Chain A
Amino acid sequence: MRPEELKPEQFSGYPPEARRLALDYLETFRRLPLSFLPNLLREVIAFDFKFPVERRLLERELGNLRSLSQQDLRVWFREFTEIKLSESLEKLNWVTSPAQFVEQLSAHLWASHQMDAFRHAALGYADKLHAAVTPEPPASPRFGIAVIGQGVDVAAETLFRRLRPYGAYFSAVNPESGLQHLLEAVAARANSNPAPYAHWYIDGGEQPPHTSGVTCVSYGAMEPVRAALLGRIRAETQKRGMGPEALRTLMAQLRPVDLGMVNGGDAVLNRFQIKLLTEGSGTQIFSTSFVQWAAREALRRAQPLTLLARFAPRQRQKPMNELLSPSPEQVEMDPAGALVDADMGAYYNWINQQRLPGSEKSLFLAWFENHKEAVAISPTLPRGTFSTEPIDLRGILSWMT
């Protein structure tokens, strides 16, 4: 089926708000090339479970597409229209299952050596969209915090090597009540700029008591869901004919209720957490991968004003079949390995924060938990500097703002 043949009833399976949005923009969809449209529909179909910022961005993108003249559309989508699709792709039900179409499109692009052309087309589209739809500046400067090294006595390697050139490195931090100071800072920011999903706390272990106005996600709290998912993976992989692509498709279709999450509560957050496990790689087995990916996805999707990511020890590496089938025995942990993972994870958190609007005013703090080392990045602090003066985290926070 071609986009110009789209009919309203084909969107009947979409969730309510997504259906409303799709019907509102049906005429626009009919004018877009098939190599592009299912990618857009993949976002539309998830509209009911998107964060507020994502919703606004998608609506603005759709509004921009609707405003384009036929001539504009030719310019915007020339490279997409040059992508050659296979007959089997065109026969797929890409309206109902846009994600599966995109997955198969990806395989087709690789196999037909069109991936580079598609990538170029996609980057060109993103550039044009960025120019046409001005990004929303944050209500206040973003603040990212990474707490790393829980359970490690001595770091075997130099920490924060990648972050230090961009901020001030402190080597005499008083660690007393450090985590408490940071949690208080997050709570204060949540109070002064309250907004849904604007302030996050992500933990690789158990999460602290609920803080009003802060969205909390933790590896520990997800344990029953992870166990249910791993059980499901084991059962599916024992079925004849199950391959990695089929398994990925099946995992992408899982809903919170399929993995034992109770109905009700925060449907948007529940869906977000499920996706961390079904779409992330390593998030099911390593807490460090979970925290890094959760922070990346929270930043990319919710564009929070505050994000505190606290890494915890991860389990020691074992064969995949054992990692997927955890025994009731004590899990052996690898805190030293987790510190190296988290050091890189902190750097990635900063990179991902810097990709968001307002990056020139953003703040970032990384701290070796219960130790004296920290690095702070802020417009108020000189880059690549070093301080050996005694200070506590409150002091660093005050210097940053």
Chain B
Amino acid sequence: MSRVFSTQMAKERAQLVPRELARQLAWTRREFIRSAAGVALGATLHPSRVLARTGIPIARRKVVVITFGGGARDQETFAPEGQENIPHLMRELIPQSAFFTQVSNRGILGHYVATASLATGVYETINNFASLPPESPTVFEYFRKELKRPASDAWVVAPSNGFNRIGESSHRSFGPGWGAHVILPKYLLSAATSGQGDYGHLLRDSYETPLYAPELSGNIFEVEQFETILKLSVADFKAHARTLSSPDELSVYIVRQLMRQFAPSLLWVTLHDIDIAHAGAYSLYIEGIRRTDRLSAELWKTIESEPEYAGKTTLFILPDFGRDSDEDAGGNGFQHHRTGDVISRTTWMMALGPGIRPGVVYDRPVDSIDLVPTLGSMMGFTASLSMGKPITEIL
């Protein structure tokens, strides 16, 4: 179904309560994906039981989470007119994935706080624009403390300085030292180049907070640690950076280095190029979606080709939330995520890897905070303070 604007459609939409509208969105995604990618409906299938079907012991399982960069709408992605922007997801990843069509974010629609909510399994209420840690324990802390994993086993690669506290909460049950290392590639590049050289295209700032860069603190990876930890010289990093075209490409480059050096069991990468939409330039928003689509597929190829990851890694891809619909007069379409309308709150998630039944679409409602307890069930820890529920279809 084409989702172009019409007065009639707007009226029909206005008559739907949010839950009905979310269900309609999910149905549209499901029908589109079923017809375009030829996948099955999963409502009648039994849970897949990862351990039983793969034989991979919990201790050896790995998880990579990609947040699909800054919110993209269906009409630019999972709708007939949007599929040209996501050829890699459509042709390569969806046929291998369990796809959830109705993932709701009921929290604050700011990128930092929403990502913090995804990482804690609790709708965080921290100031989106302040340099604050999440208040509830993060998935990294549950994972490391309960499973007694070293610091090198959990990493976050995040797009902008505002995410520097995402790896570790302020919750007193955990305290400092149990979180994930956070790498901010733009910060590193900026520090490594001292603002010199032709790297401007990789240092694009968040357009949600274009004029604000919080002071850094927390468990951040410093530039001096390049050579000692990542085994990467600053000169090599700078030279490679010159070949890249966007901040998210820089992030993916760092992710690959991490995978080769540490093979962390829990790796979280937040892509963000799409958020250029805040500047109101539709062409740049579309470019961001296409790049994020390509980078997501490249990361999956890396997972499949790295011996430490191949065959034992589950990849989750999900947006933190959507963007405003064209039909809501309170917003300005794709540009922002300010109205809190259903379209900006209802997104999708795909999971792929061993034990995940491929090519199946699930359209029951799932909450974005369900991710953390799902990871807990998958990896063998208890997300005791999470408010979400494990997604049984992929366990």
Write the residues of chain A forming the contact surface with B, with a CB cutoff of 8 angstroms: 107, 110-113, 115-116, 119, 161-162, 165-166, 233, 237, 242-245, 247, 280-283, 285-286, 288-289, 292-293, 296, 300, 314, 317-322, 324, 334, 336-341, 343-345, 347-348, 351, 354-355, 359
- Give Cα A166–Cα B333 distance, bound, in whole angstroms: 19
Q: Number of residues in B with C-beta < 8 Å to the partner?
A: 47
Closest to B339 in A: A119
CB distance from B332 to the nearest CB of A (A): 6
Q: In the bound complex, do residue A245 and residue B129 qualify as a contact, i.e. CB atoms below 8 Å apart?
A: yes
Q: Which A residues touch B1, using CB under 8 A?
A: none
Name B81's closest neighbour in chain A (CB-CB).
A161
The answer to whether B200 and A318 have CB atoms under 8 Å apart is yes
Residue of A nearest to B286 (CB): A340
Asked if B125 and A111 sit within 8 Å, CB to CB, the answer is yes
Give the chain B neighbours of A161 by CB distance below 8 A.
Answer: 81
Cβ-defined contact, A319 with B205, below 8 A: yes
Closest to A251 in B: B211
Chain B residues contacting A242 (CB-CB under 8 Å) are 212
Q: Could you name 28 residue pairs across A and B whose Cβ atoms are closer than 8 Å?
A: A110-B340, A111-B125, A115-B340, A116-B18, A119-B339, A161-B81, A165-B2, A166-B6, A242-B212, A243-B130, A243-B212, A247-B212, A281-B280, A281-B335, A281-B336, A282-B280, A283-B280, A289-B280, A317-B281, A317-B284, A319-B204, A320-B205, A324-B211, A338-B283, A341-B282, A344-B333, A345-B282, A347-B5
Q: Which residues of A contact B327 (CB under 8 A)?
A: 351
Give the shortest distance, in Å, between B32 (CB) and chain A (any CB).
Answer: 17
Contact: B281 with A322, CB < 8 Å?
no
Which residues of B sit under 8 angstroms from A347, Cβ to Cβ?
5, 326
State A217–B193 Cα separation when bound (angstroms): 42
Chain B residues, CB < 8 A from A359: 7
- With A and B bound together, what is the CA distance between A116 and B336 in angstroms? 17
Q: Looking at the assembled complex, report how far the CB atom of B289 sits from the nearest CB atom of chain A, in whole angstroms.
A: 13
Contact B276–A244 (Cβ < 8 Å): no
Asked whether B36 is an interface residue with its Cβ less than 8 Å from the other chain, the reply is no
**Interchain CA distance A107-B333 in the complex, whole Å:** 21
Q: What does DSSP make chain A's interface, helix, strand, loop or mixed?
A: helix
A341-B283 contact in complex given A110-B108, A244-B211, A320-B205, C-beta closer than 8 Å? yes
With a CB–CB cut-off of 8 A, which chain B residues contact A334?
A: 283
Contacts of B341 in A (CB 8 A): 119
A204 to B272, CA, bound (A): 28
On chain A, the residues within 8 Å of B332 by CB distance are 293, 296, 348
A282–B212 CB distance below 8 A:
no
The answer to whether B279 has its CB under 8 Å from any CB of chain A is yes
Determine if B239 is an interface residue (Cβ-Cβ < 8 Å): no
| Contact indicator per residue, chain B 176-217, by CB within 8 Å of chain A (1) or not (0) | 000000000000000000000000110111010111100000
- Which A-chain residue is minimally distant from B206 (CB atoms)? A320
Q: Is the CB of A162 within 8 A of B4?
A: yes
Asked if A288 contacts B280 (CB within 8 A), the reply is yes
Contacts A337-B284, A355-B329 known; A289 to B200 CB distance under 8 Å? Answer: no
C-alpha gap A286/B335 in the complex (Å): 13
Q: How far is the CA of A317 from the CA of B81 in the complex (A)?
A: 25
Q: Which residues of A contact B286 (CB under 8 A)?
A: 340
Which residues, 201 to 246 on B, are CB-close (under 8 Å) to A? 201, 203-205, 207, 209-212
Closest Cβ of chain B to A329, distance in Å, is 14
| Besides A111-B108, A280-B280, 10 other A-B contacts (C-beta < 8 A) | A110-B125, A111-B125, A119-B340, A237-B211, A286-B280, A317-B276, A320-B211, A334-B283, A337-B284, A338-B283
Complex interface bits, B123-142 against A, C-beta within 8 A gives 1, otherwise 0: 10101011000000000000
What are the residues of chain B within 8 A of A354 when measuring CB–CB?
A: 5, 7
B281 touches A247 (CB 8 A): no
B106 sits at the interface (CB 8 A): yes
Tell me the complex Cα distance, A165–B326, Å.
16
Task: Assess whether B278 is interfacial by the CB under 8 Å rule.
Answer: yes
How many Å from the CB of A296 to the closest CB on chain B? 6
| Nearest CB on B from A291, distance (A) | 10
Find chain B residues with CB under 8 A from A288 CB: 280-281
**Could you say which residues of chain B place their CB within 8 Å of the CB of A322?**
200
Q: Which residues of chain B are within 8 angstroms of A289 by Cβ–Cβ distance?
A: 279-281
* B205 contacts A341, C-beta separation under 8 Å: no
CB nearest neighbor in A for B208: A244
Cα A243 to Cα B210 with chains together (Å): 10
Q: Are A337 and B204 in contact (CB under 8 A)?
A: no
Pair B129/A244 contact, Cβ less than 8 Å: yes
A54 to B26, CA, bound (A): 39
Cα distance A242–B211 in the bound complex, in angstroms:
10
